[in-house]
Amino acid sequence: MAAAINAVRANCRKVICIGRNYADHIKELNNARPKQPFFFLKPPSSILLPNAGPVLQPRGVIMHYEVELGLVMGKQVKDLDPADTEGAVRAIDSYILAIDMTARNVQDEAKRKGLPWSIAKGFDTFLPISGVIPKSRIPDPHDAELWLSVNGEVRQKDSTGLMLFRIPRQLADISSVMTLEPGDIVLTGTPKGVGKVGAGDVMKAGLSVGGRAIEEAGIEVP
Amino acid sequence: MAAAINAVRANCRKVICIGRNYADHIKELNNARPKQPFFFLKPPSSILLPNAGPVLQPRGVIMHYEVELGLVMGKQVKDLDPADTEGAVRAIDSYILAIDMTARNVQDEAKRKGLPWSIAKGFDTFLPISGVIPKSRIPDPHDAELWLSVNGEVRQKDSTGLMLFRIPRQLADISSVMTLEPGDIVLTGTPKGVGKVGAGDVMKAGLSVGGRAIEEAGIEVP
Ligand SMILES: [Mg+2]
Ligand SMILES: [Mg+2]
Ligand SMILES: [Mg+2]
């Protein structure tokens, strides 16, 4: 299992993250609701493997967690038809759970100044991931429950059924801009409840399907 | 030579681009002069190898060229000291010339709305590159001349000596955020003269040192 997730990091050439994909999360950050999926990149160097230590808080940075369902791509995808649900599912090799760590104050300043988000999203360790979740464990990626706790207190807990843009639409829009390659990771957006963490806080996250926890999806970041 | 540049694309896990690094280019786009280098990511999937065809103009997109000196990293770099000029040079494996194609209208809208630049910068074919330029060909990367022409008319032609932030400072700032890995590409910014190109326009670009053209640096995009 460790070997499998190490391979995910080693084979990853881009991480594409969907922004503002859950309505209640858009409200909590006072953002505008997008008319189409938008996305940004995190560098593969930001991936934090399981049991690889804590998220490192850069000096002066306010760090927010965002738990997200991740797709590990198994096929090249280009100009996918948004109606091609089966094509989208076929292109996915496996799933991961991930925390899209965000330097919120850096991001707020970037937004204000019209600057890119890459720094706010791209620090080393800013992408803790779970083990590899075999595809068979999640029969319907729009019917799973994500949760994240800080120091034992649940902060995010919502169904992936609340996504504004479903996975085929996400892959269609991404792949109309940039070809998805095997090994690429897509993060599908975060539900409400994002917030601050700092040194000493313990984040845990998980995913359940039909009320049953998926063992491989567990994340614990000291 | 083709094998070498194919390997550059195959081994690239992130492309980090410095923005606003030449004073006259900042003026021409009415941008603010940054107090420190800022940067953004292009996906490796945007790389267009030599002789791999034209840049593809997405529908509704105003495309701008930006010629830039690129560094292909040979070593892992983390928290480089900006004063460590030798360390910076040692970390570079080789150079490339590159055109940072930009969907300028998409970028302008992103800036206005505080959205990420990844789409504006990340389309397939939006990163034409030259062949691999051996390090020995550019004894001082701050003393080379870049040029770019459209349909035979020179549009950009300036010395890399005009960079506001030199390469050691760029690598220091990038690596204080994200670890640079072997194979990563750093684009060092574009001089003045950026502008529009469209279907049918032929872009050529090159680099000279001490008045002599470097053969490997030639780019021609039909
Ligand atoms: Mg990338
Ligand atoms: Mg996110
Ligand atoms: Mg540029």
Query: Over the stretch A75-109, which tens digit does the pLDDT of each residue have?
Result: 999 999 999 999 999 999 999 999 999 999 999 99
pLDDT at B27 over 90: no
pLDDT at A213 over 90: yes
What protein residues have CB closer than 5 angstroms to ion ligand 3? Answer: B 66, 100, 190
Task: Give me the CATH topology for the region B2-221.
Answer: Fumarylacetoacetate hydrolase; domain 2 (3.90.850)
The ranges assigned to domains in chain A are 2-221
| Rg for chain B, CA atoms, rounded | 16
Q: How many angstroms separate the CA of residue A191 from the nearest CA in chain B? A: 19
Give the pLDDT score at B26: 85
A75–chain B Cβ distance below 8 A for any pair? no
Give the pLDDT score at A1: 62
Distance B90 CA to ligand 1 centre (A): 23
B110–chain A Cβ distance below 8 A for any pair? yes
Rounded mean pLDDT, A148-164: 97
pLDDT single digits (tens) B155-168: 999 999 999 999 99
Positive or negative torsion for Cα A103, A105, A108, A114: negative
pLDDT band at A3; cut points 50, 70, 90: confident
Separate counts of helices (H) and strands (E) for chain B: 6, 16
The Cβ-side half-sphere exposure at B179, using a 13 Å CA radius, reads 14
A38–chain B Cβ distance below 8 A for any pair? yes
Rounded mean pLDDT, A38-56: 97
| Contacts with B186 from chain A: Cβ below 8 Å | none
Give the pLDDT score at A132: 98
Question: How large is the ipTM?
Answer: 0.95
Give the pLDDT score at B1: 62
A139–chain B Cβ distance below 8 A for any pair? no
Asked if A118 lies within 8 A of B39 by C-beta distance, the reply is yes
Rounded mean pLDDT, B16-22: 95
B78–chain A Cβ distance below 8 A for any pair? yes
B116–chain A Cβ distance below 8 A for any pair? yes
B59–chain A Cβ distance below 8 A for any pair? no
Percent share of chain A, pLDDT over 90: 92
pLDDT at B59 over 80: yes
pLDDT band at B28; cut points 50, 70, 90: confident
| Bridge partners (DSSP) listed for residue B192 | none
Distance A18 CA to ligand 2 centre (A): 6
B12–chain A Cβ distance below 8 A for any pair? yes
Give the pLDDT score at A164: 95
Interface probe for B, chosen from A55, A115, A121 (most Cβ of B below 10 Å), is A115
Instruction: Collect all residues with Cβ–Cβ distance below 8 Å to B167 and sequence separation of at least 6.
Output: B71, B88, B89, B92, B141, B142, B188
Q: Which residue from A minimizes the CA distance to B47?
A: A178
Distance B200 CA to ligand 3 centre (A): 22
A14–chain B Cβ distance below 8 A for any pair? yes
Give the pLDDT score at B32: 85
Q: Which amino acid is at A135?
A: K
pLDDT band at B202; cut points 50, 70, 90: very high
Asked if A114 lies within 8 A of B118 by C-beta distance, the reply is no
Q: How many angstroms separate the CA of residue B116 from the nearest CA in chain A? A: 5
Asked if A39 lies within 8 A of B12 by C-beta distance, the reply is no
Percent share of chain B, pLDDT over 90: 92
Asked if B114 lies within 8 A of A110 by C-beta distance, the reply is yes
| Contacts with A14 from chain B: Cβ below 8 Å | 14, 43-45
Dump the DSSP string for A3-31.
Answer: HHHHHHHHH---EEEEES-BHHHHHHTTP
d(CA B46, CA B9): 10
Percent share of chain A, pLDDT over 70: 100
d(CA B114, CA A142): 29
Asked if A119 lies within 8 A of B39 by C-beta distance, the reply is yes
Distance B215 CA to ligand 3 centre (A): 23
Rounded mean pLDDT, A200-220: 97
